[in-house]
Structure 1
Amino acid sequence: MPNDIVLDPNRAFIFPNRVREQRQRHGLQKLMALSNLIGDIPYIRLSKIERGEVVARADELTRIARALDIPPEALLLDVAARGFDIATWAEPFRDMTAWNEADEREAVLLAAALRVRRNQDRGLTIAVLDRDYGLPAVILSRIENAQKPLDRWNSATLASLCRVFGVSGVPALQEMITAQYRRGELAGFVTTISDPQMRLARTRERIAALRTELTSLAGGPATPVAAKKAAQGTPAPLASDQPRELRVHGAPLAGGLIGFTATDDRVEAPSRAGPRAFALRVCRATLGAGLPANAVVIADPDRLPTVGGLAAIRTGDAYRLVTVTFDRNGATTGYSVTPDMEINLDALDPADVAAVIGAVFA
């Protein structure tokens, strides 16, 4: 395998925070003690938040802070501050096994190769990969986010991958991926997945959005959009009293997907909708009778999905609507009824997940 890839040993730590520091400062030496005080955040989910493996939602930070009797902002870190070092912060959370560069490199290359393969063939949707290749959405997400190298996936997953790439076996797949990288075909996705500076930029953006959403929840005037603009160094747009209309997009595609095809219909945007919000016709009742095919949802990429709500997940040029909840491991998960599937939202690129903030029923 190539050895000239810039690897990030801290790639798993996407949300450095002060939860552990504040917990111990308030005399709670065990995380379980804090979990018992909070009650409504599953222990596994709370552990992932404290370890920085998932990005906490604003409502979760509020509940954690309430249990510790501190402001929610006291749980956030300024990762751009002079002297902050992600490696030092992450030290208490590292597994006992040493970080293996070879395994990380292979996992990143596999993830990049699969993303390239799907980008080349837009027919390889989540539904098709599940139905025709035996690659469930949860496993697909983990592979595309480089969670494990090739040799640590089970035989069924390896067989599915070989079918996706059209090769006879794992050795042939390894040779194909190496050749693709050496030809420069994987470079863009490799950088997206493993570059430390891109990870830091995404972390800064997420924390900035959380700060402003916490202000909004506390009754302040800011919105998550303002935080995102601030993180990018761009002034937030001024509020307007004029109602804003959004063009409705949507065309039914196979596997419950919704094509982002413009229609002649328009709907009024909710007042809290950000500048990138869009309207999407449901097209099929993939989430059950409560959201009929003729309904239109308003999705906002600048807002984080909340448990109990809905989210629109971008898949190539299409979207999938899911109900947001936790799975038994504490991961934020999106569920679809038709087709029956689940997607680990924590493992997706946040740019591909938009919170549904409203719906219009015909």
Structure 2
Amino acid sequence: MATVAAKFVEQSQVPVVESGIVRSTVFPNKLRDLRRKAGYEMLTDFIRETGLKDINYTRLAKIERGQIFARPDEVIELAKLLDVEPMSLFIDTVEKDFDRESWARDHTEASLTFRGGTREDMRIGAALRIRRRELGLSTTDLKKKYGMPAATASRIENAERPFHRWPDKIRKATAKMMGGASMRDIARTVTAYEQEGRLDAMMAELFSQRSLDQRHNASLLALVQKLPGKKAEKFAAKLEKLMAEKGLVDWSANLSVVAAAGQPDIFSEDQTMPVLEGKTHDGWTLVSETKKTFTRNFEAPGIAIKLDKPVLGLGIPTSALLVFELIDRSEVKGEMVLALIDGPRVRVVSARPAGRGFKLAQVNPEWQSSLSKESSVRVAKLSQIEMA
């Protein structure tokens, strides 16, 4: 594919982690230090002299550099070979003085010093994920339909290397997914998503500090919880507490539906209901009734809201009337637009499955800070949109 000058129009600057080496360092650990302390200067020495067979050199090197998480059985095996407790391999990354970037640079080989793409590569990755979801495809589906391996798609979406360094056939496959054949077509798609407001939300989901912290800590917690011993239990408890304090816990784990009698009720039982409007601050909209009314097309209690800010991006303008239907939390499945209702306050979010719960997103990543504490909110799904 010939190199084509492509102009990417940046309408806003979503706060993201620019450093590729920080984004790709997910599991800082003490493996290298413990290995050398035990007298194994090189990884090959360690593998040969200990008889390690269940972890190959490439995977072990990635674990040592913090690029991937070790499995629980691998942690236990490595600790046994080094004659230490499993938790001895861990670094307390929740401490305030821990510097992830310094650790990563100290543990990265010279030939691998540059990890991750630029902001432009991040925007291509975000656009690819938006497009993949539009097509309803998983990363594993891409191999059959576009000839792109699942691992490669994931690395592009997470901007783990500059896009121009991918093979020509991968760049062509990306352009084909975008409905074109060249870098110019990719740039056109990125710009379109940006103008619609969807790119900002995806950039925040993939690359904001909060999003990275949430993913890294959740994976670390899941690993530690599977390890034996009091030290593992203590570390897990400390990590859980920190995640709760910073609002990084999956909100749906504690979400429960509260009876209408338990809080001021803004839902209407009548088919024709008042339109609610209000001011949005920190992602919440404090609503009140207007003289306008709207007749809904469903039977369950509902609310009709007109927002003053495009919290989900420019794809749903503020002139649109959003009509939500009250549902039980168990009915939240797949990707949905939800309204979380806390008395007279409403937070409109996009939700998608993530682990055992759901990940919520708005355009501004800072507006996601308190979602994990909303155990008393009620949930409604978007059922109608009326454009002005």
Same fold at TM > 0.5: yes
Please name the residue that 1:4 is paired with: 13
Equivalent-residue separation in structure 2 for 1:111 and 1:58 (angstroms):
30
Q: Secondary structure at the match of 1:167?
A: coil
Question: Structure 1 residue runs of 4+, over 6 Å off?
Answer: 219-222, 224-228
Q: Paired residue for 2:26, among 9, 14, 18?
A: 14
Equivalent-residue separation in structure 2 for 1:221 and 1:112 (angstroms):
35
Q: Secondary structure at the match of 2:184?
A: helix
Q: Does 1:52 align with 2:61?
A: no
Summarize the alignment of residues 36-185 of structure 1 with structure 2, pairs less than 5 Å apart: 36=48, 37=50, 38-96=52-110, 99=114, 103-122=117-136, 124-126=137-139, 128-185=141-198
1:86 Cα offset (Å)? 0.8
| Cα distance change, pair 221–175 in 1 and its aligned pair in 2 (3 A) | closer
Please name the residue that 2:41 is paired with: 29
Summarize the alignment of residues 115-264 of structure 1 with structure 2, pairs less than 5 Å apart: 115-122=129-136, 124-126=137-139, 128-215=141-228, 232-233=243-244
| Cα distance change, pair 211–127 in 1 and its aligned pair in 2 (3 A) | closer
Q: Are 1:15 and 1:55, in contact at CA under 8 Å, matched by a contact in 2?
A: yes
Please name the residue that 2:384 is paired with: none
Equivalent-residue separation in structure 2 for 1:227 and 1:81 (angstroms):
10
Please name the residue that 1:297 is paired with: none
Q: Are 1:133 and 1:164, in contact at CA under 8 Å, matched by a contact in 2?
A: yes
Post-superposition Cα deviations, 1:170-197, rounded to whole Å, max 9, x if no partner, equal: 1231233134235422112212222234
Equivalent-residue separation in structure 2 for 1:206 and 1:100 (angstroms):
21
Letter in 1 for 2:244: G
Letter in 2 for 1:171: R
Q: Are 1:112 and 1:189, in contact at CA under 8 Å, matched by a contact in 2?
A: yes
Equivalent-residue separation in structure 2 for 1:353 and 1:220 (angstroms):
26
Equivalent-residue separation in structure 2 for 1:34 and 1:73 (angstroms):
20
Q: Are 1:32 and 1:43, in contact at CA under 8 Å, matched by a contact in 2?
A: yes
Q: Are 1:8 and 1:195, in contact at CA under 8 Å, matched by a contact in 2?
A: no
1:71 Cα offset (Å)? 0.2
Post-superposition Cα deviations, 1:132-153, rounded to whole Å, max 9, x if no partner, equal: 3222323222222222333222
The alignment's C-alpha RMSD in Å is: 3.6
| Cα distance change, pair 56–112 in 1 and its aligned pair in 2 (3 A) | same
Equivalent-residue separation in structure 2 for 1:89 and 1:100 (angstroms):
14
Q: Are 1:109 and 1:190, in contact at CA under 8 Å, matched by a contact in 2?
A: yes
Q: Are 1:162 and 1:173, in contact at CA under 8 Å, matched by a contact in 2?
A: yes
1:212 Cα offset (Å)? 2.3
Equivalent-residue separation in structure 1 for 2:144 and 2:217 (angstroms):
37
Please name the residue that 2:318 is paired with: none
1:105 Cα offset (Å)? 1.4
1:33 Cα offset (Å)? 2.3
Q: Are 1:15 and 1:52, in contact at CA under 8 Å, matched by a contact in 2?
A: yes
Equivalent-residue separation in structure 2 for 1:221 and 1:23 (angstroms):
21
Q: Are 2:38 and 2:82, in contact at CA under 8 Å, matched by a contact in 1?
A: yes
Q: Are 1:8 and 1:196, in contact at CA under 8 Å, matched by a contact in 2?
A: no
Equivalent-residue separation in structure 2 for 1:42 and 1:353 (angstroms):
31
Please name the residue that 1:286 is paired with: none
Q: Are 2:194 and 2:200, in contact at CA under 8 Å, matched by a contact in 1?
A: yes
Post-superposition Cα deviations, 1:298-333, rounded to whole Å, max 9, x if no partner, equal: xxxxxxxxxxxxxxxxxx77xxxxxxxxxxxxxxxx
Letter in 2 for 1:27: G
Q: Are 1:162 and 1:168, in contact at CA under 8 Å, matched by a contact in 2?
A: yes
Equivalent-residue separation in structure 1 for 2:114 and 2:140 (angstroms):
34
Q: Are 2:139 and 2:154, in contact at CA under 8 Å, matched by a contact in 1?
A: no
Q: Are 1:208 and 1:231, in contact at CA under 8 Å, matched by a contact in 2?
A: no
% of aligned pairs identical?
29
Q: Are 2:122 and 2:159, in contact at CA under 8 Å, matched by a contact in 1?
A: yes
Query: Higher Cα Rg: structure 1 or 2?
Result: 2
Q: Are 2:87 and 2:232, in contact at CA under 8 Å, matched by a contact in 1?
A: no
Equivalent-residue separation in structure 2 for 1:128 and 1:92 (angstroms):
37
Q: Which runs of 5+ in 1 are unaligned?
A: 238-315, 318-349, 355-362
1:221 Cα offset (Å)? 11
Q: Are 2:175 and 2:186, in contact at CA under 8 Å, matched by a contact in 1?
A: yes
Equivalent-residue separation in structure 1 for 2:238 and 2:206 (angstroms):
24
